[in-house]
C-alpha cells in the first residue's frame, strides 16, 4: 500500500514526532535529575551535621600540658619497640640486593618474602634446571647467607622451571 501523503507532508510529520520525542525525553531526564537530587540531599545534611566542628588553628596550648606527657611516653614506647629492628646488623634490603646481584642469566625472580623473626629470605621464580643449580652454588659461596635451601624437585626440574630458594641470613 502506498503512502497517501506527499513527501513534504511526511517530512513535516516526522519533524513533529521528533520534536515531541525530544521534549518528552528531556522532561524524563529532568525528572530523574530532580529525583536523584532529592535522594542525595538527606545524606548530605546527615554528613554535614555529623562532622566535627572546625578547629581554630590559632589557639595555642600552653607548654607542659598533659597531652605532651602522653605524646612523649608514646614516642618512647615506639622507639623501644623498634630499637631491635633499627640496631640489627643485617638489613633485609641489603640481603635482597646481594641475593639478586648473584643471580645468573636466565633466572627470573618473581617474588621475594622476608621473615624477620627467623631471618629467612625466600626467593621464588622461574629458571632452567642448570640455572637454578648455578644460582644455588653462587648463593652458597656468599658468606652473607648462613644456609641455602632449594627443594630437590627444583634442582631436578620436575616443577616446570619454577623454583623456591630459602636463604638463612647471617646476622
What pLDDT shows up at residue 94?
A: 79
The C-alpha cell at 36 is 536523584
CA-wise closest residue to 106 among 78, 128, 73: 128
Say if residues 79 and 89 touch (Cβ distance below 8 Å).
no
Please tell me the least confidently modeled range out of 8-17, 65-74, 143-152: 65-74
Mean pLDDT, residues 17-31? 97
pTM > 0.75: no
Domain extents for the chain? 7-51, 92-169
Beta strands in 58-155 (DSSP E): 108-115, 120-126, 145-149
Q: What is the mean pLDDT of residues 108-127?
A: 84
Architecture of the domain delimited by 92-169: 2-Layer Sandwich (3.30)
The whole-angstrom separation of Cα 118 and Cα 54 is 48
Three-class SS state of 58:
coil
| Cα separations in angstroms, 92 against 2, 4, 135 | 86, 88, 19
Q: Exposed/middle/buried for 139, CB within 10 Å: 0-12, 13-18, 19+?
A: buried
The residue among 124, 94, 99, 128 whose CA lies nearest residue 109 is 124
- Average pLDDT on 84-103 reads 73
The pLDDT tens digits for 53-89 are: 665 555 555 555 556 777 778 778 877 776 666 665 5
Amino acid at each position: 500500500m502506498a503512502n497517501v501523503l506527499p513527501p513534504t507532508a511526511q517530512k513535516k510529520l516526522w519533524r513533529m514526532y521528533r520534536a515531541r520525542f525530544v521534549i518528552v525525553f528531556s522532561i524524563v531526564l529532568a525528572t530523574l535529575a530532580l529525583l536523584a537530587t532529592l535522594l542525595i540531599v538527606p545524606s548530605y545534611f546527615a554528613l554535614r551535621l555529623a562532622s566535627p566542628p572546625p578547629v581554630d588553628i590559632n589557639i595555642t596550648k600552653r607548654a607542659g600540658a598533659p597531652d605532651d606527657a602522653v605524646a612523649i611516653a608514646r614516642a618512647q614506647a615506639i622507639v623501644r619497640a623498634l630499637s631491635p629492628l633499627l640496631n640489627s646488623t643485617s638489613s633485609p634490603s641489603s640481603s635482597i640486593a646481594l641475593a639478586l646481584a648473584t643471580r645468573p642469566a636466565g633466572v627470573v625472580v618473581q617474588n621475594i618474602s622476608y621473615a624477620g623473626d627467623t631471618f629467612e629470605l625466600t626467593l621464588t621464580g622461574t629458571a632452567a634446571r642448570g640455572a637454578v643449580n648455578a644460582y644455588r652454588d653462587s648463593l652458597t659461596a656468599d658468606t652473607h647467607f648462613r644456609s641455602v635451601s632449594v627443594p630437590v624437585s627444583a634442582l631436578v626440574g620436575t616443577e616446570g622451571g619454577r623454583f623456591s630458594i630459602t636463604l638463612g641470613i647471617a646476622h
